[in-house]
Amino acid sequence: MQQPIAILDSGVGGLTVVKEVMRQLPREKIIYFGDTARTPYGPRPAEEVTRFTRQIVEYLIQYRPKMIVIACNTATAVALEDIRSRVAIPVVGVIHPGARAANSRTQTGFVGVIGTEGTVRSGAYEQVLKHLSPSTQVYSLACPRFVPLVEQGNFRSKETYDVVESSLQPLKERAIDTLILGCTHYPFLSETIASVMGKDVALISSADETAREISTILHDRNRLTRDGELPVHQFFCSGDHRMFRMIAQDWLGEQIELTPVVWQVPKIV
């Protein structure tokens, strides 16, 4: 039986990575977990996000995945190494791929990063960007009001525009030429973010680059699925499954097979 790629997030955000994996690697089967009952992760303490991430990994591991993708910047920032130390399969995060893409895109070396409070507090993007190019100037900004809008499917309203415009004001005053969408939920708002930031600022989402990294790792291990029937992906969510289904089907452009999950007493791996 084909082993899937397991992808997880606090909610619908990781679907931005799923879409890119489906595009670049159409034969790979995906199992996805959105922890919509406990979203947002951004304001939660690092220890709690790590505990939730372990619990989701423990859930997904029953499906014998060949790889785990933490498609959540907040969880990548605090739990990537922890999860890597607990499982014997490759574990990919979204911060290195996003930082690499921004580093190759910027011409001025002035890079903005928007993300959750947890991601911004961790300083993870600054660290990777400075490591890639020590002279890069990084301006980070937490946008805590974005994720709840996305989880409600509220992508293009006047309210959303106003929230995005007022939240991004501090970054508009910086001369950045590249802006990292350092939260996997944000590509759902990319049209609005682009219209607020203007055409001189390139938006970077980690999704493409993460999908490329997945492909490289599977290729190097000779684990890519190249032929056979198109897979049926499986989705799990812990909260409102109607909203999850609506957002996922709209974003992915296809019907999904969704299993609602009711968390039992949280177990720690």
Please measure the distance between the N-terminal and C-terminal CA atoms of the chain and give it in whole angstroms: 26
- 41 labelled binding-site residue: yes
Residues between 129 and 188 that touch ligand DGL (CB under 6 A): 147, 183-185
Hey, is 225 helix, strand or coil? coil
Element (H, E) at 184: none
Give the nearer residue to ligand DGL in terms of CB position, either 39 or 106.
39
Give the nearer residue to ligand DGL in terms of CB position, either 99 or 147.
147
Among 211, 188, 190, which Cα is nearest to 179's? 190
Please indicate whether residue 237 is annotated as part of the active site: no
Q: How far apart are CA 126 and CA 110, in angstroms?
A: 12
Taking the CA of residue 145 as centre, how many other CA atoms within 13 Å lie in the half-sphere pointing to its CB? 10
Give the nearer residue to ligand DGL in terms of CB position, either 155 or 226.
155
73 binds ligand DGL (CB under 6 A): yes
97 binds ligand DGL (CB under 6 A): no
- 73 labelled binding-site residue: yes
Among 7, 12, 3, which Cα is nearest to 183's? 12
DSSP class of residue 73 equals: H
**Token reading at 256:** 């999904």
Q: Which of 8, 72, 129, 149 is catalytic?
A: 72
For ligand DGL, the binding residue among 53, 103, 116, 140 (CB under 6 A) is 116
Please indicate whether residue 72 is annotated as part of the active site: yes
Site string for ligand DGL, 21-40 (x = CB under 6 A): ------------------xx
For ligand DGL, the binding residue among 72, 92, 111, 261 (CB under 6 A) is 72
Among 232, 220, 228, which Cα is nearest to 259's? 232
- 222 labelled binding-site residue: no
Q: Which of 183, 197, 202, 211 is catalytic?
A: 183
Report the amino acid identity of residue 193.
Answer: I
- 16 labelled binding-site residue: no
Residue showing tokens 């002279």: 135
Q: Which residues bind ligand DGL (CB under 6 A)?
A: 9-11, 13, 39-42, 72-74, 116, 119, 147, 183-185
Q: Which residues form the catalytic set? A: 72, 183
